[in-house]
Chain A
Amino acid sequence: MSDPKKETMDQGRRRFLGAGAAAAATIAPGVTLMQVASAKPDDQPVSDKNRWGLLIDTTKCASGCDACVQACNEEFNLQPQHGPRTDPHWIRKVEVRDTATGRTFSLPMMCQHCENPPCADVCPTGASFRRDDGIVLVDRHICIGCRYCMMACPYKARSFVHEEIPEEDKNVNAPRGKGCVEACTLCVHRVDKGRQPACVEACNGDGHKAMIFGDLKDPGSEISRELKKYPSTQIRADLRLNPGVFYKGI
């Protein structure tokens, strides 16, 4: 996509910052160095020392497979109610064809956890916000349901809860409620416990291994190493929102 220069600069800067922090850590003797684990241990506070992200390899993502979508629906108990137009969609599969070459590829789309999220910029109450570690969330207790964030999101990543969620369908992993807007939380409830998002786990479990989750600010993490080695891009990188979700093979 356009403006690759800007992207590499941003990535470079991120790596540089990450490396700087790591170097500082090594100066203190006897201290264990960088964390190579891909998620945050539960006892650490949310901090901007991490930026959680995803790398999706479209060459590995299988057309017709929707293990990630199913896993997400299960994790949050997203039940179909009155039809696909109003049902919640936190993640979806998209099949794309490059009109110039005829090559097709498949990929999952979800909230891209933008560094400069327009959804949060426009939200009148501040219900949409970005955590220090880069995860974009909706505080469902101050969301007034104006849907301005849905107008602003370039990825159609958000769903408005169009109907009452039956008591038995309510789910502990994310508070949900009629009249509020919701979206992919990057499985923040798992990330905060040092686990991987449900979609990533499902993709790995299926043997496709098309998704890598990890800390973009940790130069030693698998995701950072992959990003450094292979070309990747962000969807609509030209909008300069710097999403935390990267794609390979677009």
Chain B
Amino acid sequence: MKKVRYTSIDGRGGFYALLGVLGLFILAGLGAAYYMEHNGHWVTGMDNQTVWGLPHVFAVFLIVAASGALNVASIGTVFGKAPYKPLARLSAVLAVALLVGGLVVLLLDLGRPDRLIVAMTYYNFKSIFAWNIILYTGFMGFVAIYLWTMMDRTVRKYYKLAGFTAFIWRLILTTGTGSIFGFLVGRQGYDAAIMAPMFVVMSFSFGLAIFLLVLMAAYDWTGRPLGEALLMRLKNLLGVFVAGALYFVIVFHLTNLYATEHHDWEKFILMGESVHTKVFWLGQVLLGSLVPLGILYSKAGRSRAWIAVASALVILGGFATMWVTIIGGQSFPLVLFPGMEVVSSGYFDDVAYHTYSPSFPELVLGLGGVAVALIAVVVAVKVLNLLPSSLADADVDPHHKG
């Protein structure tokens, strides 16, 4: 194996055009946030029954994907797989960028985003949310140190330690994110311990899908070589993760079906008439899992274009998953009187399910968060030496027979 040379990209016209487009999305997102805050949340689709809406779908997706994006680096460092090592820098930067994007959305959707200081200074240590704030801050810190040990020879000796810490931390972080839902005892859709590990496996799959797209785009647009064998490795890994996540989804619903008190909820999601049933089967299961699996494990999986399609579908499925979890979970009314029926109510307790239609500003805010994540990556690869000049197979894999 040759020594890997990392260089920054020499952004020309295309680079600035990309910055411009992403910048516009960010501006639009900020505008949307201002509009919603200024008027109050009644201008959104959210209300007192669906209190978390599309912004949370984007935010949680990005945060979950963030920890997954670090996986490529972890496989190289923690599990010592040489071909992944040259990818570690991009993996780390992408992870932090996605996290920042998600947190921005979460923050801007607060009722009082101006109270960020309050959120940072008042802690209720019983709250899993407060723990998450610590986990997120820690994640950024540890990944930054990890990146530093990769890039600075003088601290190289801490590289393993830093990589290991970041890896453990990301596992705790995703468990923490999953637990946000796992602790909601009154909600039929969330009250399950499996939520946390399921989020971990999903994070592998969403994070790798985004990583693959970013990697292919970066190497294609800068005209750097990207080896076939490396890509095959990554896409096979994506297949494993997608299958793993699907497995957890099946177990989640099967265990729910086993518990009588969750039957109505399962019926609602699996064979109900609400949009969530369609999003689940079409979005999460078919387009987000089965089709990408079909692509990745068939002949089509050898083509870059199809790998990109599969990755995009996994991302789409990720959004569908978050939709079903977050919106679907709130759509199902709280069970106040088990075994009885609410005939009428002054406050929507008597409906079959709550409806929610996202407003345009919510979507724009969410996309703004994605743009924040992407612009951070684009700027980082320009100012730092993150990308290997070549990822041709002979350059990265000592065992590659070319």
Q: Which residues of A contact B (CB under 8 A)?
A: 1-2, 66, 69, 81-86, 89, 92-100, 104, 109, 118, 120-127, 142-148, 150-156, 158-164, 178-181, 235-236, 238-239, 250
Task: Give the nearest-CB partner of A2 in chain B.
Answer: B338
19 cross-chain CB contacts under 8 A = A86-B41, A92-B349, A93-B345, A97-B342, A109-B349, A118-B185, A124-B119, A124-B130, A125-B122, A126-B127, A147-B52, A150-B48, A151-B187, A153-B186, A160-B111, A162-B47, A178-B111, A179-B41, A238-B338
Are B334 and A155 closer than 8 Å at their CB atoms?
yes
Q: Is the CB of A82 within 8 A of B42?
A: yes
Q: Assess the A96–B341 pair: CB atoms within 8 A.
A: yes
Q: Is the CB of A122 within 8 A of B42?
A: no
User: A85-B48, A94-B336, A146-B110 are contacts. A125–B39 as well, Cβ < 8 Å?
Assistant: no
Q: Is the CB of B40 within 8 A of A162?
A: yes
In chain A, what residue has the closest Cβ to B125? A126
Q: Considering the complex, give the chain A residue whose CB is closest to the CB of B349.
A: A94
Taken together as a complex, chains A and B put the C-alpha atoms of A95 and B344 apart, in Å, by 5
- Cα distance A121–B124 in the bound complex, in angstroms: 8
Q: Are B186 and A122 in contact (CB under 8 A)?
A: no
Decide if A156 touches B118 in the complex (CB within 8 Å): no
Complex CA distance for A238 and B336, rounded to whole angstroms: 11
Instruction: Select from chain A the residue with minimum beta-carbon distance to B47.
Output: A85
User: Whose C-beta in chain A lies nearest to the C-beta of B341?
Assistant: A97
Interface centre among B112, B118, B339, B341 (most CB of A within 10 A): B112
Contact of A96 with B337 in the complex, beta carbons under 8 Å = yes
> For A162, what are the chain B residues with a Cβ–Cβ distance below 8 Å?
40-42, 47-48
A186 to B330, CA, bound (A): 26
Whether the pair B112, A143 counts as a contact (CB closer than 8 A) is: yes
A1, A85, A104, A127: residue with the most chain B Cβ atoms closer than 10 Å: A85
Nearest CB on B from A191, distance (A): 24
The answer, yes or no, to whether B135 is at the interface (CB within 8 Å) is no
Which listed residue (A145, A146, A148, A239) contacts B186, Cβ 8 A? Answer: A239
Contact flags B292-329 to A (C-beta < 8 A → 1, else 0): 00000000000000000000000000000000000000
**A89-B346, A164-B40, A179-B37 known; A151 vs B52 contact (CB < 8 Å):** yes
Contact status B346-A93, CB under 8 Å: yes
Q: A93-B345, A95-B343, A162-B41 are in contact. Are A151 and B184 (CB under 8 A)?
A: yes
Instruction: State whether the Cβ of B258 lies closer than 8 Å to any Cβ in chain A.
Output: no
B133, B180, B340: the one within 8 Å of A96 (CB): B340
Quick check: B186 and A89 within 8 Å, CB to CB?
A: no
Task: Compute how far the CA of A178 lies from the CA of B36 in the bound complex, rounded to whole angstroms.
Answer: 12
B111 touches A161 (CB 8 A): yes
In the complex, which of the residues B111, B118, B336, B345 contacts A155, with contact meaning CB atoms closer than 8 Å? Answer: B336
Known pairs A85-B49, A153-B186; list 18 more (Cβ under 8 Å). Answer: A66-B346, A92-B349, A94-B345, A94-B347, A95-B343, A98-B340, A99-B340, A118-B184, A123-B129, A124-B122, A124-B124, A144-B112, A148-B129, A151-B330, A154-B187, A162-B47, A179-B111, A239-B186
A86 to chain B, nearest CB (A): 4
Residues of A within 8 A of B148 (CB): none
Shortest C-beta distance, A248 to chain B (Å), equals: 15
B267 interface contact, C-beta 8 A = no
Residues of A within 8 A of B123 (CB): 124-126
